[in-house]
Amino acid sequence: MLKNRVKEMRARHSLTQSDLGKQVDVTRQTIAFIEKGEFSPSITLALKLAKALQVDVNELFWLEGDGELEK
Amino acid sequence: MAFITLLGVFALGINSPTVELTETGFSIQLEAFESLLVFGSILLYLILLAIFSVKVKQYNKQNPHQKISMLAIRPPEYLEADEGMTYITRRAVQKVYTFYSWALPALATIVIIFPLPRLVVIYAILGLAFGQYWIYYTEIRKHFKGEEE
C-alpha cells in the first residue's frame, strides 16, 4: 500500500486542500482521497504534488513496509 | 429517483386502459383516477425535466470546461473531473455492475417461474433502477464525507 505525507507537507506550507488542488489541477476531494490513503495517484500527479510541495517525490510517497524509507 | 417514481405512477395509471377499435383507428379510455395518475405523472415529469434542464444550464455556466450535455449517451452522474473522481466513479460503477450481475438473472428467473402481472414486472424493473441509483449515490457519498482541511 502506498503511504504519503501530503497532509503534513501541505500544512507545512499553510495550504488548504483546495489551494493544493488548484496548483496541481485536481479537485479538493482528490487531495482528500490521497491524504486518507483511499486513492493512489498516478506518477504524473505524484510528481506534480512533489513539485508543488517542494519535496522529492520519495519523501512524499513510499511503500508501506519499506523500512528504509518509512519514517 | 424521482423520475423512476413517476414512471411507476405512470405505469400504474396506464396499466388497465380500455382500448376500442374504431373505424378511423383506435381509442384508449382511462378511468378518472387512472387518468389523473397518467396525466399528473406526465405533467410532473415535464416539470422535473424543466428543473433538471435549468440546473444543468446553471452547472454548465459555472463549469464551462466540464459541461454536461442533456443529450449525451453517457450518464451525467459520472464524475470524471480528474483521476480521483474517475477512480471513485469506477468504484461505484463496479458496485452497480455487481448488483446487476445477480439481480437481472434473479428477476428473469422469478418472471419465468411465476406468472406475474405485467405491472409487477414493470415495478420490479423500476426497483432495479432504483437500486442502481441508490448503490451509486451511497458509494459516491461515502467518499465525499468530510469537511475541507
Segment B27-83, tens digit of pLDDT: 766 677 777 777 888 888 889 889 989 998 998 898 887 778 878 888 878 888 889
Residue with cell 457519498: B141
Taking any CB pair shorter than 8 Å as contact, residues of chain B touching chain A are 81-85, 87-88, 143-144, 146, 148-149
State how many domains chain A has. Answer: 1
Mean pLDDT over residues A5-18, rounded? Answer: 94
Question: Which domain CATH number covers A30?
Answer: 1.10.260.40
pTM of the model: 0.73
Q: Are residues B87 and B148 in the same domain?
A: yes
How far apart CA B145 and CA B149 sit, in angstroms, is 12
Of A7, A18, A33, the CB nearest to B84: A33
Q: Strand (E) positions, chain A?
A: 2-4, 61-63
The answer to the question of residue A65 being in a domain is no
Q: Are residues B148 and B81 in the same domain?
A: yes
Chain B CA closest to residue A14: B149
Q: Are residues B98 and B149 in the same domain?
A: yes
State how many domains chain B has. Answer: 2
How far apart CA A20 and CA A6 sit, in angstroms, is 10
Whole-number average pLDDT of chain B? 84
Of B83, B88, B148, the CB nearest to A28: B148
